[in-house]
Every structure is written in structure tokens, then in C-alpha cells.
Amino acid sequence: MNTMHQTLTVALDERSYPIHIGCGLLGRAELWRPHLNPKMGAVVITNTTVAPLYLDKVLATLAELGCPAFSVVLPDGEEYKSWETLNTVFDALLENRCERGTTLIALGGGVIGDLVGFAAACYQRGAPFIQVPTTLLSQVDSSVGGKTAINHPLGKNMIGAFYQPKLVLADLDTLDTLPPREMAAGMSEVIKYGLIRDPAFFSWLEQQAAGLMHRDKALLAQAVYQSCAHKAEVVARDEREAGERALLNLGHTFGHAIETGMGYGSWLHGEAVAAGTVMAALLSEQLGWLDQAAIERIKALFRRVGLPVDGPWLAATPLATAQRYLELMRHDKKVSAGILRLVLLQGIGQAVVSADANDAAILQAVQAGLAVAPSVLSVPPTQI
């Protein structure tokens, strides 16, 4: 068994917690033990895709620790990141008489992690929870930092809480069963760290893209570790996104408009963020901050890992589509005092939060970043 193992800490004083990254970690009882209270039991919350693959392994580890546990298996998909699904979790917790000390374990990708984290934040005003991310995207981004949420028809992640886990256990072996489209989507968030704060990491990703997509474990370990190290450092300095943490949202305001406008689940989060990042880069070019060569490097890397670089049409014409994007973006959490603040690039590795772009410039950037043909309206990126 490959037992490579690295550990990082998210430094938040008494709420600090470890991120374990490596292979064969699901069965490593000693990594779980410090973060569980066997007397209070645990509940493993997962989905119909992940449960047949990894649920038994996690339940066996809990049994080895003498921690009684049961499972809740939810439908799989972004469209289930909703109030209705959240209530399904609460129903199970209450029916099984779970207490405030019962540990909630999120076994799955970003949807499961966000939803279970929000359930933990709310249940009896706060129950402990553990993140066991099984997708690349959740391992490098959503499982770390304590952002939890569900979606609303008018906007993605609009209802949630900052609530930190007790442990993040990123077992790289779970990536073996990840579909190629999900693997590509995860790379979007990995690339983001290079773009916002680490040009050397971006260059390394350009060189190693093929090996990463072939799931070379040594390369994946390095990519996940480096991504989590960036995230942990930023979260430790700005847990509640008062400043620097907002930079982690590069491409997300445009991307959330795609996800909301297309209907949750049509485009994967990482796909929407990739196309949204290109739009942010095009807007940065308009402001004179980014040159064409940098934009081409960004597009080339996204293409190399199988991600879209053109956004979908949301209406019958480019201008109407751009106006729909802008309307959806104005529902984003980055709106402050009615002003839309966007994460833009002053170079590869140099991101800023800016309110400098007016509506006309945003509309122009969206139109420049749209696919040539409106057929993208209803076709997922990998099927075009």
C-alpha cells in the first residue's frame, strides 16, 4: 500500500485543525482518533455515488475505534445542495437522537462537504464535523477553511455559515475512481492558486499537467499539498473574508452566474470557474493590467486539463446574455454597499479585489468570453 502522508495545520488558535494528505488514509484509525468522541457516536453523510466505494471503509475504521455510527446516503448532484436535502439530514439526526457531541462526517465532494458543514453549524447550534473529501476540487479547496452553504434559486452558496471542521482527511486513493470530467473540474481550483499568488506553481502546473491528469500520485500529492498550504495560510490570516481571502474567489463571480443561469448541475463548479476566470482575465486586459500573452497561457493550461475557456450563452444574443450574467453577478456575495467587487489579475500570480470595472466593461468582457455559437446554451462543456 502506498502510504505517502503529509500534514498541514490551519492555524486558528483553539480551533486549529490538521489537514492530512496522502494515500491509504481512510483506514488509518490513529488519524481519526484524536478528533472523535466515541461516547457520542458519529454519522457518516455521503451520496449515492461515493457510498458504494468508500462508506464501508469509513464505517469499519469507526468500528475499530469503538465509535458507534450510522450513515445517511443522499442523492448526488449540485441540484441537491438545497433546503430540502438539508432537512433530510436534520430528520436523520433527530430520528436517531443525535446529540450536540455527535460527530458529523462529510464523505464526498464539495456538495456533501458544504451541506454537511452547514448542517453541523446549525444542529443544536453547533456539532463537530470532519471533512473526508473524495474529489480533487474538494481536497484542494472546499473542504478547507470552513465555508459551508447551500444554494438558493437566485444565487449559489447564498445561505450558509463560517464553521470549521475538526479534521480534513484527503485520501488521494479516492481520486482513482473520480470521473475524468470531475478530475478536470478540480484542476480549475488548483490552477487558481497559481494565478492569484504563486507564479512558480502556475509554471509547474504547465509542465506537469499531463502527469497530473494521468493521476500520478506523487504529482497529485504535491499539487494538493501546495494548494492546501496556500488555502490554510490565507484562511489563518482572514478567516471570514474581510480582505485577503476574497482573492480565492478568482473567476467565481462570473462562474456562479454560469452555474445559476444554466441550472445547478449543468456545468460543474470547476468548469464554470475556468470560463469565469477567462472572463476575469479579459476584464483585467481591458483595465491594462494583463497582456494577451498571459491570457493565452491561462487558456492553454485550462484547455490542457480539459476545461472550457468559453462561457455559455444564457439568452438569444451576446448582449442579452452578457446582461443576464451581470444581473446574476449582482446577487453575488462579493457585492458590498451595492458595488460589485471582482477579483482581477495584474499579472500571473498577482490578484487584486477591484471595483474599478464599470458595467460596460463587464458586459464587454463577458461577450468576449462567450462561446462562438449559442448551442452551448444547453450542452455540458465535455459534450460540445
**Among this protein's residues, is 256 annotated catalytic?**
yes
Locate CATH 3.40.50.1970 in the chain: 5-177
What is the average pLDDT score of the chain?
94
Which among 166, 192, 230, 245 is annotated as catalytic? 245
**Among this protein's residues, is 241 annotated catalytic?**
yes
Q: What is the pTM of this model?
A: 0.94
Q: Domain 182-383, what fold?
A: Dehydroquinate synthase-like, alpha domain (1.20.1090)
Q: How far, in Å, CA of 272 to CA of 265, rounded?
A: 11
The DSSP bridge partners found for residue 132 are 107
Which among 147, 197, 230, 341 is annotated as catalytic? 147
C-alpha cell at 211: 502527469
Which among 157, 192, 230, 241 is annotated as catalytic? 241
**Among this protein's residues, is 151 annotated catalytic?**
no
pLDDT at 1: 41
As a whole-number percent, the residues of the chain with pLDDT over 90 amount to: 90
pLDDT at 335: 73
pLDDT at 336: 72
Tell me how far CA of residue 308 lies from CA of 140, 274, 298, in angstroms: 20, 6, 11
pLDDT at 374: 77
Backbone phi, psi, residue 340, to 5° = -85, 115
**Among this protein's residues, is 269 annotated catalytic?**
yes
**Among this protein's residues, is 147 annotated catalytic?**
yes
Which among 151, 166, 189, 192 is annotated as catalytic? 189
**Among this protein's residues, is 99 annotated catalytic?**
no
**Among this protein's residues, is 331 annotated catalytic?**
no
Report, as ranges of residue numbers, the positions in the chain whose pLDDT lies below 70. Answer: 1-3, 333-334, 337, 375-384
Q: Domain 5-177, what fold?
A: Rossmann fold (3.40.50)
Q: Among 305, 328, 308, which residue's Cα sits nearest to residue 370?
A: 308
pLDDT at 381: 61
**Among this protein's residues, is 231 annotated catalytic?**
yes
Locate CATH 1.20.1090.10 in the chain: 182-383
Which among 231, 271, 285, 341 is annotated as catalytic? 231
pLDDT digits 0-9 by tens, 19-48:
999 999 999 999 999 999 999 999 999 999
Binding site, annotated residues for NAD(+): 76-81, 110-114, 134-135, 147, 156, 174-177
The continuous run of DSSP H or E covering 262 comes out as helix 252-262
- Please name the residues in contact with 70: beta carbons below 8 A apart, sequence gap of 6 or more: 43, 44, 92, 96
Binding site, annotated residues: 76-81, 110-114, 134-135, 147, 156, 174-177, 189, 252, 269
